[in-house]
Amino acid sequence: MILGNWSVRIGGGALAALVLIALAAPWLGTVDPTLFDAASRDLRPGEAGEITDLDGETMKHVFLMGSDSFGRDVYSRVIYGTRVSLLVGILCALLALSIGIVCGLASGYLRWLDGLLMRFMDGLMAIPAILVAIALVAMWRGSLATVVVAIAIPEIPRVTRLVRSLVLTIREEPYVEAAIALGTPTRKIMFGHILPNCIAPLVVQATYICAFSILVEAILSFLGVGLPPDIPTWGNVMAEGRAQFNDYPHNIFFPGVFLAATVLAVNILGDGLRDTLDPKMAKRV
Protein backbone atom coordinates (compact mmCIF):
# COMPACT_ATOMS: atom_id res chain seq x y z
CA MET A 1 0.00 0.00 0.00
CA ILE A 2 2.78 2.41 0.95
CA LEU A 3 4.82 1.49 -2.12
CA GLY A 4 1.87 2.25 -4.36
CA ASN A 5 2.41 5.95 -3.75
CA TRP A 6 4.56 7.68 -6.37
CA SER A 7 6.02 10.17 -3.92
CA VAL A 8 7.20 7.33 -1.72
CA ARG A 9 8.67 5.53 -4.73
CA ILE A 10 10.51 8.57 -6.08
CA GLY A 11 11.65 9.96 -2.72
CA GLY A 12 12.52 6.55 -1.32
CA GLY A 13 14.31 5.50 -4.52
CA ALA A 14 16.41 8.66 -4.62
CA LEU A 15 17.22 8.30 -0.96
CA ALA A 16 18.21 4.67 -1.39
CA ALA A 17 20.54 5.72 -4.21
CA LEU A 18 22.12 8.34 -1.96
CA VAL A 19 22.60 5.79 0.82
CA LEU A 20 24.32 3.51 -1.69
CA ILE A 21 26.57 6.37 -2.78
CA ALA A 22 27.46 7.08 0.82
CA LEU A 23 28.29 3.44 1.55
CA ALA A 24 30.19 2.88 -1.68
CA ALA A 25 32.06 6.20 -1.61
CA PRO A 26 35.59 4.68 -1.73
CA TRP A 27 34.79 2.66 -4.86
CA LEU A 28 33.27 5.43 -6.92
CA GLY A 29 36.49 6.76 -8.41
CA THR A 30 37.20 8.95 -5.44
CA VAL A 31 40.42 9.73 -3.68
CA ASP A 32 40.87 10.52 -0.01
CA PRO A 33 38.81 13.74 0.30
CA THR A 34 41.41 15.39 2.53
CA LEU A 35 44.19 15.06 -0.03
CA PHE A 36 45.38 18.17 -1.82
CA ASP A 37 47.95 19.11 -4.36
CA ALA A 38 49.26 22.60 -4.87
CA ALA A 39 49.65 21.87 -8.55
CA SER A 40 45.98 21.15 -9.02
CA ARG A 41 44.41 24.27 -7.60
CA ASP A 42 41.22 25.75 -9.05
CA LEU A 43 40.73 23.23 -11.82
CA ARG A 44 37.51 23.38 -13.75
CA PRO A 45 35.17 20.36 -13.83
CA GLY A 46 36.48 17.53 -16.00
CA GLU A 47 40.06 18.81 -16.12
CA ALA A 48 42.85 16.36 -15.43
CA GLY A 49 45.54 17.04 -12.90
CA GLU A 50 47.53 15.22 -10.29
CA ILE A 51 47.12 14.58 -6.64
CA THR A 52 49.56 13.54 -3.93
CA ASP A 53 48.57 10.87 -1.48
CA LEU A 54 49.61 10.61 2.15
CA ASP A 55 52.78 8.71 1.29
CA GLY A 56 53.85 11.56 -0.93
CA GLU A 57 53.22 9.66 -4.14
CA THR A 58 51.74 11.63 -6.96
CA MET A 59 49.17 10.17 -9.31
CA LYS A 60 47.09 11.28 -12.25
CA HIS A 61 43.50 12.16 -11.41
CA VAL A 62 40.57 13.54 -13.39
CA PHE A 63 38.73 16.19 -11.37
CA LEU A 64 35.13 15.50 -12.40
CA MET A 65 33.80 18.43 -10.43
CA GLY A 66 36.95 20.49 -10.50
CA SER A 67 39.12 21.31 -7.52
CA ASP A 68 39.11 23.95 -4.82
CA SER A 69 41.69 26.57 -4.00
CA PHE A 70 43.72 24.07 -1.96
CA GLY A 71 43.77 21.65 -4.87
CA ARG A 72 41.40 19.14 -3.31
CA ASP A 73 39.09 17.00 -5.44
CA VAL A 74 35.59 18.46 -5.17
CA TYR A 75 34.04 15.26 -6.53
CA SER A 76 35.55 13.14 -3.76
CA ARG A 77 34.58 15.69 -1.11
CA VAL A 78 31.00 15.84 -2.38
CA ILE A 79 30.66 12.05 -2.50
CA TYR A 80 32.09 11.63 0.98
CA GLY A 81 29.96 14.55 2.12
CA THR A 82 26.89 12.37 1.48
CA ARG A 83 27.94 10.27 4.45
CA VAL A 84 28.04 13.22 6.82
CA SER A 85 24.75 14.69 5.68
CA LEU A 86 22.77 11.46 5.86
CA LEU A 87 24.30 10.58 9.21
CA VAL A 88 23.46 13.99 10.65
CA GLY A 89 19.90 13.82 9.29
CA ILE A 90 19.19 10.36 10.66
CA LEU A 91 20.84 10.91 14.03
CA CYS A 92 19.05 14.23 14.57
CA ALA A 93 15.68 12.72 13.69
CA LEU A 94 16.22 9.78 16.04
CA LEU A 95 17.46 11.95 18.88
CA ALA A 96 14.71 14.57 18.61
CA LEU A 97 12.07 11.88 18.21
CA SER A 98 13.09 9.73 21.16
CA ILE A 99 13.37 12.63 23.60
CA GLY A 100 10.24 14.28 22.17
CA ILE A 101 8.17 11.10 22.54
CA VAL A 102 9.14 10.69 26.17
CA CYS A 103 8.40 14.35 26.96
CA GLY A 104 5.16 14.31 24.97
CA LEU A 105 3.82 11.17 26.64
CA ALA A 106 4.80 12.51 30.05
CA SER A 107 3.19 15.86 29.33
CA GLY A 108 0.01 14.31 27.96
CA TYR A 109 -0.42 11.95 30.85
CA LEU A 110 1.03 13.61 33.94
CA ARG A 111 -1.07 16.68 34.54
CA TRP A 112 1.28 18.12 37.17
CA LEU A 113 4.22 18.02 34.79
CA ASP A 114 2.30 19.31 31.80
CA GLY A 115 2.23 23.02 32.59
CA LEU A 116 5.89 23.22 33.54
CA LEU A 117 7.20 21.12 30.68
CA MET A 118 5.10 22.86 28.03
CA ARG A 119 6.13 26.34 29.24
CA PHE A 120 9.74 25.21 28.96
CA MET A 121 9.11 23.92 25.45
CA ASP A 122 7.35 27.17 24.52
CA GLY A 123 10.41 29.04 25.65
CA LEU A 124 12.73 26.80 23.69
CA MET A 125 10.54 27.17 20.64
CA ALA A 126 10.61 30.95 20.91
CA ILE A 127 14.30 30.93 20.03
CA PRO A 128 14.66 30.43 16.27
CA ALA A 129 16.07 26.95 15.58
CA ILE A 130 19.14 28.05 13.69
CA LEU A 131 20.13 30.48 16.43
CA VAL A 132 19.89 27.73 19.06
CA ALA A 133 22.09 25.52 16.93
CA ILE A 134 24.57 28.31 16.24
CA ALA A 135 24.81 29.27 19.90
CA LEU A 136 25.27 25.68 21.06
CA VAL A 137 27.92 24.87 18.49
CA ALA A 138 29.70 28.14 19.28
CA MET A 139 29.74 27.13 22.92
CA TRP A 140 30.80 23.52 22.52
CA ARG A 141 32.92 23.90 19.36
CA GLY A 142 32.06 21.83 16.33
CA SER A 143 32.23 18.05 16.23
CA LEU A 144 29.79 15.53 14.82
CA ALA A 145 28.27 14.89 18.26
CA THR A 146 27.83 18.53 19.22
CA VAL A 147 26.43 19.46 15.81
CA VAL A 148 23.88 16.64 15.97
CA VAL A 149 22.81 17.56 19.49
CA ALA A 150 22.71 21.26 18.68
CA ILE A 151 20.48 20.70 15.67
CA ALA A 152 18.24 18.17 17.42
CA ILE A 153 17.52 20.24 20.54
CA PRO A 154 15.36 22.92 18.89
CA GLU A 155 13.35 20.15 17.19
CA ILE A 156 12.42 18.50 20.49
CA PRO A 157 9.61 20.93 21.38
CA ARG A 158 7.91 20.32 18.05
CA VAL A 159 7.91 16.54 18.56
CA THR A 160 6.78 16.99 22.15
CA ARG A 161 3.87 19.16 21.09
CA LEU A 162 2.87 16.74 18.36
CA VAL A 163 2.94 13.73 20.70
CA ARG A 164 1.14 15.63 23.43
CA SER A 165 -1.65 16.80 21.16
CA LEU A 166 -2.02 13.28 19.75
CA VAL A 167 -2.17 11.84 23.27
CA LEU A 168 -4.77 14.40 24.33
CA THR A 169 -6.90 13.69 21.27
CA ILE A 170 -6.62 9.93 21.38
CA ARG A 171 -7.27 9.64 25.10
CA GLU A 172 -10.68 11.22 24.51
CA GLU A 173 -11.56 8.54 21.97
CA PRO A 174 -14.32 6.20 23.10
CA TYR A 175 -12.10 3.16 22.59
CA VAL A 176 -9.65 4.50 25.17
CA GLU A 177 -12.51 5.24 27.56
CA ALA A 178 -13.77 1.73 26.98
CA ALA A 179 -10.30 0.43 27.88
CA ILE A 180 -10.41 2.43 31.11
CA ALA A 181 -13.77 0.87 31.90
CA LEU A 182 -12.25 -2.54 31.12
CA GLY A 183 -9.74 -1.91 33.87
CA THR A 184 -6.72 -1.63 31.58
CA PRO A 185 -3.84 -0.07 33.53
CA THR A 186 -2.67 3.40 32.42
CA ARG A 187 0.72 2.10 31.28
CA LYS A 188 -0.93 -0.44 28.99
CA ILE A 189 -3.33 2.16 27.63
CA MET A 190 -0.42 4.45 26.86
CA PHE A 191 1.70 1.86 25.06
CA GLY A 192 -1.05 -0.42 23.80
CA HIS A 193 -3.71 2.01 22.59
CA ILE A 194 -2.27 5.50 22.33
CA LEU A 195 1.31 5.08 21.08
CA PRO A 196 0.42 2.73 18.18
CA ASN A 197 -2.05 5.31 16.93
CA CYS A 198 0.67 8.00 17.07
CA ILE A 199 3.21 6.17 14.96
CA ALA A 200 2.10 7.30 11.51
CA PRO A 201 2.33 11.04 12.20
CA LEU A 202 5.62 10.50 14.04
CA VAL A 203 7.22 8.70 11.10
CA VAL A 204 6.18 11.59 8.89
CA GLN A 205 7.53 14.11 11.38
CA ALA A 206 10.81 12.20 11.52
CA THR A 207 11.38 12.59 7.79
CA TYR A 208 10.79 16.34 8.01
CA ILE A 209 13.22 16.67 10.90
CA CYS A 210 15.73 14.65 8.92
CA ALA A 211 15.42 16.98 5.92
CA PHE A 212 15.60 20.11 8.03
CA SER A 213 18.62 18.83 9.96
CA ILE A 214 20.55 18.15 6.77
CA LEU A 215 19.82 21.72 5.70
CA VAL A 216 20.83 23.24 9.02
CA GLU A 217 24.07 21.27 9.15
CA ALA A 218 24.95 22.59 5.69
CA ILE A 219 24.07 26.13 6.76
CA LEU A 220 26.22 25.87 9.90
CA SER A 221 29.17 24.53 7.96
CA PHE A 222 28.65 27.14 5.25
CA LEU A 223 28.71 29.94 7.81
CA GLY A 224 31.86 28.45 9.28
CA VAL A 225 30.29 27.54 12.62
CA GLY A 226 29.62 23.86 11.95
CA LEU A 227 31.88 20.90 11.53
CA PRO A 228 35.63 21.64 11.29
CA PRO A 229 36.59 22.70 7.72
CA ASP A 230 38.76 19.63 7.05
CA ILE A 231 35.78 17.29 7.33
CA PRO A 232 34.25 16.90 3.89
CA THR A 233 30.70 18.18 4.16
CA TRP A 234 28.68 19.92 1.48
CA GLY A 235 28.47 23.05 3.60
CA ASN A 236 32.24 23.15 4.04
CA VAL A 237 32.89 22.66 0.33
CA MET A 238 30.56 25.54 -0.42
CA ALA A 239 32.08 27.71 2.27
CA GLU A 240 35.49 27.27 0.65
CA GLY A 241 34.00 28.19 -2.72
CA ARG A 242 32.45 31.43 -1.50
CA ALA A 243 35.36 33.74 -2.07
CA GLN A 244 35.87 32.66 -5.68
CA PHE A 245 32.26 32.24 -6.60
CA ASN A 246 32.40 34.76 -9.45
CA ASP A 247 35.17 32.84 -11.21
CA TYR A 248 34.67 29.25 -10.09
CA PRO A 249 30.96 28.67 -9.39
CA HIS A 250 31.37 24.88 -9.52
CA ASN A 251 32.54 24.76 -5.91
CA ILE A 252 29.10 25.91 -4.88
CA PHE A 253 27.12 24.41 -7.72
CA PHE A 254 27.88 20.69 -7.28
CA PRO A 255 27.50 20.34 -3.51
CA GLY A 256 24.46 22.62 -3.76
CA VAL A 257 22.80 20.28 -6.22
CA PHE A 258 23.55 17.25 -4.06
CA LEU A 259 22.27 19.00 -0.96
CA ALA A 260 19.06 20.19 -2.61
CA ALA A 261 18.48 16.76 -4.17
CA THR A 262 18.95 14.98 -0.85
CA VAL A 263 16.65 17.29 1.06
CA LEU A 264 14.15 17.11 -1.77
CA ALA A 265 14.20 13.32 -1.74
CA VAL A 266 13.60 13.19 2.01
CA ASN A 267 10.81 15.78 1.80
CA ILE A 268 9.11 13.98 -1.08
CA LEU A 269 9.35 10.73 0.85
CA GLY A 270 7.82 12.51 3.85
CA ASP A 271 4.93 13.87 1.79
CA GLY A 272 4.28 10.45 0.32
CA LEU A 273 4.36 8.76 3.72
CA ARG A 274 2.03 11.40 5.08
CA ASP A 275 -0.46 10.85 2.26
CA THR A 276 -0.52 7.09 2.75
CA LEU A 277 -0.01 6.69 6.50
CA ASP A 278 -1.90 9.65 7.80
CA PRO A 279 -4.63 10.85 5.47
CA LYS A 280 -6.09 13.13 8.12
CA MET A 281 -2.85 15.08 8.43
CA ALA A 282 -2.52 15.15 4.66
CA LYS A 283 -5.60 17.31 4.52
CA ARG A 284 -4.27 19.65 7.13
CA VAL A 285 -0.93 20.61 5.63
- Kindly give the interhelix angle for 234-241 and 74-109, rounded to the nearest 10 degrees: 130
Query: Binding segment for other proteins among 19-27, 54-62, 89-97, 181-189 (CB under 8 A)?
Result: 181-189
CB of 135 to other proteins, least distance (A): 5
Distance CA 62, CA 52 (A): 13
DSSP conformational letter for 73: B
Position 20 contacts other proteins (CB under 8 A): no
CB of 179 to other proteins, least distance (A): 7
CB of 265 to other proteins, least distance (A): 8
In the bound state with other proteins, the residue whose beta carbon lies nearer, of 54 and 285, is 285
Distance CA 105, CA 168 (A): 9
Distance CA 20, CA 5 (A): 22
CB neighbour list of residue 187: distance below 8 Å, 6 or more residues apart: none
Residue 213's alpha-carbon distances to 140, 200, 208, in angstroms, are: 18, 20, 8
Query: Binding segment for other proteins among 12-20, 47-55, 78-86, 132-140 (CB under 8 A)?
Result: 132-140
| Spatial CA neighbour of 125 closest among 102, 96, 147 | 96
CB of 139 to other proteins, least distance (A): 4
Position 179 contacts other proteins (CB under 8 A): yes
In the bound state with other proteins, the residue whose beta carbon lies nearer, of 51 and 156, is 156
CB of 73 to other proteins, least distance (A): 21
Position 119 contacts other proteins (CB under 8 A): yes
Distance CA 171, CA 194 (A): 7
- Choose, by CB under 8 A, the member of 62, 140, 145, 228 that binds other proteins: 140
- Which sign, positive or negative, has the C-alpha torsion 67, 73, 79, 84? negative
CA 157 to chain centre: 17
Position 23 contacts other proteins (CB under 8 A): no
**Helix, coil or strand: residue 127:** coil
In the bound state with other proteins, the residue whose beta carbon lies nearer, of 46 and 224, is 224
Q: Are 255 and 244 in contact (CB under 8 A)?
A: no
CB of 80 to other proteins, least distance (A): 19
Note the residues at the interface with other proteins (CB under 8 A). 119-120, 122-131, 134-136, 138-140, 173-185, 188, 193, 196-197, 211, 215-216, 218-219, 222-225, 238, 245-246, 249, 252-253, 256, 259-260, 263-264, 267-268, 271, 283-285
